[in-house]
């Protein structure tokens, strides 16, 4: 699997896909990324260290993702990330976290003191029923302002069967009004029972293609568009 890439379209940065302990939540109905989790800590640490050796510091920005939250990465891997960031003179560091860790984000900021740490969070949708009853996301908050006070970037999901145009319209309106950055993931069928809605995706592409021209919005038409997660070709 490809674990290192360079994002060259918007917000130029390097990105690495590391291995981590199993996701603390691990119940999202649509997610099979957790298959990349690992329980052998030493093997994980060594594996992640090798991936991090690809980082050059070219853009002074690094995004670190794993199939869980930053808090599921081994402490040694967090230190290895810190070492490479300091060695390469990286100014901005991006991590992902499940919303349930909102009260611990300061721990990561304190650990990387002096580095501009930004957090991404998969909200998927602001429709409570669809997010938590159908997708089983386990994300609860009072209002979008609460989320925006904690996370620099939110991830939305578009094109799931059962979603409606009205839901998506409201989600995009909230994203543009309240958040500095957004990542919109177009749903792709995977090994879970959740299926994509091609007609809804086609409507979104026609209605919201203009978002491609916005510097603060990234659209992943395929879940490997950032260059990581794909299998190596033989």
Is residue 59 a part of any domain in this protein? yes
When pLDDT is averaged across residues 157-176 and rounded to a whole number, the result is 98
DSSP the chain: ---EEEE-SSS-EEEEEE--SPPSS---TT--GGGG----HHHHHHHHHHHHTT---TTSEEEEEESS-GGGS-HHHHHHHHHHHHHHT--EEEEE--GGGGGGHHHHHHHTTTSEEEEEEEEE-S-HIIIIIIS------S-HHHHHTT-SEEEEEE-BBTB-HHHHHHHHHHHHHH-SEEEEEEP---SSS--B-HHHHHHHHHHHGGGGG-TTEEEESSTTTTS-SPPPP-
Q: How confident is the model at residue 181 (pLDDT cuts 50, 70, 90)?
A: very high
Supply the pLDDT for residue 234.
41
CA 195 – CA 175 distance, rounded (Å):
24
Is residue 230 a part of any domain in this protein? no
Among 137-146, 168-177, 201-210, 223-232, which is the least confidently predicted range? 223-232
Is residue 214 a part of any domain in this protein? yes
48-102 per-position pLDDT tens digit: 999 999 999 999 999 999 989 999 999 999 999 999 999 999 999 999 999 999 9
**Residue 118 to residues 28, 93, 150, 181, 190: CA-CA distances in angstroms?**
23, 6, 9, 11, 29
Is residue 14 a part of any domain in this protein? yes
Is residue 39 a part of any domain in this protein? yes
Evaluated on CA atoms 60, 150, 180, 190, the torsion sign reads positive
| Domains of the chain: total | 1
Q: What is the CATH number of the domain that holds 207?
A: 3.20.20.70
Mean pLDDT of the chain: 95
Is residue 43 a part of any domain in this protein? yes
Is residue 146 a part of any domain in this protein? yes
Residue 1 has pLDDT above 80, yes or no: yes
Structural domain range at position 127: 4-220
When pLDDT is averaged across residues 163-179 and rounded to a whole number, the result is 98
Residue 233 has pLDDT above 60, yes or no: no
Residue 188 has pLDDT above 70, yes or no: yes
Supply the pLDDT for residue 37.
81
CA 43 – CA 31 distance, rounded (Å):
24
Is residue 234 a part of any domain in this protein? no
């Amino acid at each position: 699997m490809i674990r290192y890439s360079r994002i060259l379209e918007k917000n130029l940065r390097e990105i690495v896909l590391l291995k981590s302990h199993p996701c603390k939540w691990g119940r999202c109905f649509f997610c099979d990324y957790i298959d990349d989790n690992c329980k052998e800590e030493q093997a994980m640490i060594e594996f992640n260290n090798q991936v991090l050796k690809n980082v050059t510091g070219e853009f002074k920005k690094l995004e670190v993702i794993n199939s869980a939250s930053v808090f599921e990465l081994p402490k040694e891997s967090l230190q290895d990330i810190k070492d490479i960031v300091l060695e390469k003179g990286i100014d901005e560091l991006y991590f992902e976290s499940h919303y349930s860790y909102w009260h611990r984000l300061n721990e990561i900021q304190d650990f990387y003191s002096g580095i501009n740490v930004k957090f991404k969070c998969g909200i998927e949708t602001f429709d409570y029923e669809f997010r938590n009853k159908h997708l089983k996301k386990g994300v609860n908050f009072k209002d979008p302002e609460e989320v925006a006070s904690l996370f620099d970037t939110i991830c939305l999901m578009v094109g799931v069967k059962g979603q409606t145009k009205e839901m998506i319209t409201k989600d995009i309106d909230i994203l543009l009004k309240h958040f500095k950055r957004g990542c919109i993931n177009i749903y792709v069928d995977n090994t879970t029972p959740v299926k994509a809605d091609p007609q809804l995706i086609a409507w979104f592409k026609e209605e919201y293609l203009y978002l491609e021209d916005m510097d603060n919005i990234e659209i992943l038409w395929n879940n490997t568009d950032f260059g990581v997660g794909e299998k190596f070709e033989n």
